Amino acid sequence: MHLTKKASYGLIAALELAANTNAGPLSAGTIAEKYALPVPFMEKILHQLRRSGLVAAQQGRGGGYTLVDDPMTVSVRKVLESLDESLDLVGCITANSGCHLTAICPTRFAWGKIDQRFKALLDSLSLQDLLADK
């Protein structure tokens, strides 16, 4: 598994929205400028998070994006999956992976257990948890 820039920037955006829940909407430009990220890419990421229902958009002057749910209830996994990121550590865990070793692989069970624990960890970490560690 390799997380993309989209995943990294998307988590940054979600954390910024979580940190500013009471301050009103944030624009893609504001978030991008703070971290020296490309504005068009941040806009695309926030649009995708909006389509998934994770964030809401407000049009017009003073508009921008807000987190829909309480930061304590939004997991890191939910953010990454909202961006269509693959969270599979290895591709051979699923039965139709196409790997010729799937039926006899001595590590497949181990990778499956590691994958389950990794996803459970992502489920257990909320945006609020990450903000508290800042």
Query: How many independent structural domains does the chain possess?
Result: 1
Q: According to the model, what pLDDT value does residue 95 have?
A: 62
Q: Examine the pLDDT at 46 and tell me if it is beyond 70.
A: yes
Q: Examine the pLDDT at 128 and tell me if it is beyond 80.
A: yes
The residue segments making up the domain with residue 125 are 5-132
pLDDT band at 87 (very low <50, low <70, confident <90, very high): confident
What SS3 state is found at 57?
A: strand
In contact, 40 and 48? CB cutoff 8 Å: no
| Interval 63-75 mean pLDDT | 95
**What whole-number distance in Å separates Cα of residue 52 and Cα of residue 56?**
10
Which H/E stretch holds residue 111?
helix 108-124
Partners of 104 in the beta sheet? none
Residues 28-42 pLDDT 10s: 999 999 999 999 999
CATH number of the domain within which 103 lies? 1.10.10.10
Give 102's DSSP letter: T
Q: What are phi and psi of 131, to 5 degrees?
A: -65, -35
Residues 89-124 pLDDT 10s: 887 776 666 778 777 888 888 988 999 999 999 999
